[in-house]
Amino acid sequence: MEPNLLDNSWVESTNRVPLKGLKRRLEKAKGTWLEEVPRIQWAYHTTPQSTTKETPFSLVYGSDAMIPVEIQENYPRFQSFVVEESNEGRKVNLDLLDEVHEHARINSEALKSRVELRQKTKTRPQQFKVADMVM
């Protein structure tokens, strides 16, 4: 069954991880939540997810994001940046993006299968009869 994007439970589960991050960060910095939201979103989008083994950023753009520290002029990755090579690399990454998506889908399906198997092994089937009292 495909999730209904207008269903509140779908929205709540999607926002669960960023909200946890926001709550953790705001325990120390009261009243600055608006400044923390972009940082938490960046952290979420650049962290590999357990279901796909990929970052949301790389699934969308086909390459890993550079963290703000890497953009400083004295950082090796920034110093070795060449526009032409970068453009070629981006084209290659975009060509391979379908394969990355397929790999992420396979990882996600494998995780679902493992969870389903674990659930089946932990639950005992129960047979109920009419008029049985169940809770």
Say how far apart CA 91 and CA 62 lie, in whole Å: 9
Residue 78's pLDDT is 66
The answer, yes or no, to whether residue 1 has pLDDT greater than 50, is no
Evaluate the CA torsion angle 81, 99, 1, 48 in order and state its sign.
negative
Average pLDDT over residues 57-62: 83
Tell me what the pLDDT averaged over the chain comes to. Answer: 77
The answer, yes or no, to whether residue 89 has pLDDT greater than 50, is yes
pLDDT category of residue 12 using cuts at 50, 70 and 90 = low
Asked if 108 contacts 52 with a C-beta cutoff of 8 angstroms, the reply is yes
Evaluate the CA torsion angle 3, 7, 13, 16 in order and state its sign.
positive
Say how far apart CA 61 and CA 125 lie, in whole Å: 45
pLDDT category of residue 101 using cuts at 50, 70 and 90 = confident
pLDDT category of residue 131 using cuts at 50, 70 and 90 = confident
Q: What is the pTM of this model?
A: 0.53
The secondary structure of residue 94, as a DSSP letter, is H
Provide, rounded to the nearest whole percent, the portion of the chain with pLDDT above 90. 0
Average pLDDT over residues 82-108: 80
The answer, yes or no, to whether residue 75 has pLDDT greater than 80, is no
| Total residue count of the chain as it appears in this document | 135
- Amino acid 40 reads I
Residue 34's pLDDT is 77
